[in-house]
Structure 1
Amino acid sequence: MRAMPSRVHMWRSAARSLRWFACDADPAGLLQTQRLGLPLNQPDASMRLLIVWHSRTGMAKQMSEALLKGAQKARSEMEASETDLAIHICRARDAQIHDLISAHGYLFCAPENLASMSGEMKEFFDRCYYGALGKLNGRPFALAVCGGSDGEGAARQISRICQGWRLKSVTAPLILRNGAQTPEAVAAAKTLDTHGAEKCMDLGGLMAAHMLLGVP
């Protein structure tokens, strides 16, 4: 009768050791490919377009919404359904490795801060890069960046990461500049103008059409 508690204790110790080993092997969860939390919508979709965005003062968020609207419009005009092409939009801090692996095309949208991509967008790539490495080869992507007077630095950074993933660029990065240079202008809320919104919609539509047509 006394052997049973001892055996249970042994099993519990073994389980704890396995958990500790797993934590030591990947303490930051950089290789975690199972989605945590709610599953993605449209699990039976033939293709998925994933839009990952971050925004500090509002412009990049509006750009990502225009990308989404353009992709949805193109899908509708091509008489395709959500089952043909599911379109997901996700803030960078919420995007996971599983979201990347389960998608077939990508739009990344972020602001440039101090000549580089914003910190939250960088953290997304840091967190997901190695878990997705080797699993995204050949899939299409495009970038949308908002900057004050430049934007090229952030675009180059993101493009290099996508090159490491072996993603295929569909078109040149879309860079929209708001002209902010003083501390007050940089910190102020931004509004995407009509011309910029149209350019983002065009990019979203291009990506959706590219995927639906199966362009290599």
Structure 2
Amino acid sequence: MNPDAPLLIVWHSRTGAAEAMADAASKGADGEARIVRARDAQPDDVLKAKAYLFACPENLATMSGMMKEFFDRCYYPVLGRIEGRAYATAISAGSDGEGATRQIDRIVAGWRLKRVADPLIVNCDAQDAASILAPKTIAPEEVARCEELGAAMAEGVRMGIF
């Protein structure tokens, strides 16, 4: 991990899917990303970055509680200081992932961030308690999508597009 990398990947995962998505995006960014667990991410991490990827599971039709805690902890200390910076989302979901995407979009609208990629949603198709709680892996084609997102975001920062 490059502590001075311009792309900040903040992630939370309980079953491994969102973690795998964040790791793949970081790999795609080829050394241009700092990957930080949501529980460890601080306002200074947000301030140092030029772009953000928020990766988490959708739990009960919303983002995970630990990701919400990250936003709660960092929201006001960076408010008014990061306008116009780029962001994207990577959501692991049991169904559609739309609730988590909407919630993150609403929060970062207050930061005045600019979405630079369509939401990346990986449907793990977990619909019962056992499958929801089970460890997850991501299919190779989904890993590739995450790597491409990380590469695109890192390249956008390098080129000064965002």
Question: What TM-score does the superposition give when structure 2 sets the normalisation length?
Answer: 0.96
**1:110 maps to which of 51, 56, 64:** 56
Q: Does 1:97 align with 2:33?
A: no
2:73 to 127, 136, 141: 127
How far apart are 1:41 and its partner, in Å? 2.8
- Give the CA deviation at 1:203: 0.5
Structure 1 residue 130, shift from structure 2 partner: 0.5
**Count of paired positions:** 161
Identify the residue that residue 195 of structure 1 maps to in structure 2. 141
Q: In structure 2, what is the equivalent of residue 69 of structure 1?
A: 27
| CA deviation after TM superposition for structure 1 residue 64, in Å | 0.4
Identity %: 52
User: What amino acid does structure 2 have at the position aligned with 1:145?
Assistant: I
CA-based RMSD: 1.2
For 2:86 and 2:10, locate their aligned partners in 1 and report how far apart those are by CA, in whole Å: 14
CA–CA separation in structure 2 for the residues paired with 1:152 and 1:188? 21
TM-score normalized with structure 1 length: 0.72
**Structure 1, gaps ≥5 residues long:** 1-39, 73-81
Q: Which secondary structure state, in structure 1, belongs to the residue aligned with residue 18 of structure 2? A: helix
Q: Equivalences for 1:52-91 in 2 at 5 Å?
A: 52-72=10-30, 86-91=32-37
Question: Quick check: 1:182 aligned with 2:128?
Answer: yes
State the alpha-carbon separation in 1 of the partners of residues 105 and 144 from structure 2.
23
SS in 2 for 1:195: helix
Q: Give the one of 79, 103, 115 matched to 1:169.
A: 115
Q: SS at 1:93's partner residue?
A: coil
Larger radius of gyration: 1
Structure 2 gaps of 5+ residues are none
Structure with higher helix content: 1
Distance in 1, matches of 2:110 and 2:121, equals 21
User: Could you list the runs of 4 or more consecutive aligned residues of structure 1 that deviate by over 3 angstroms after TM superposition?
Assistant: none
Higher relative contact order at CA 8 Å, sep ≥6: structure 1 or structure 2?
2
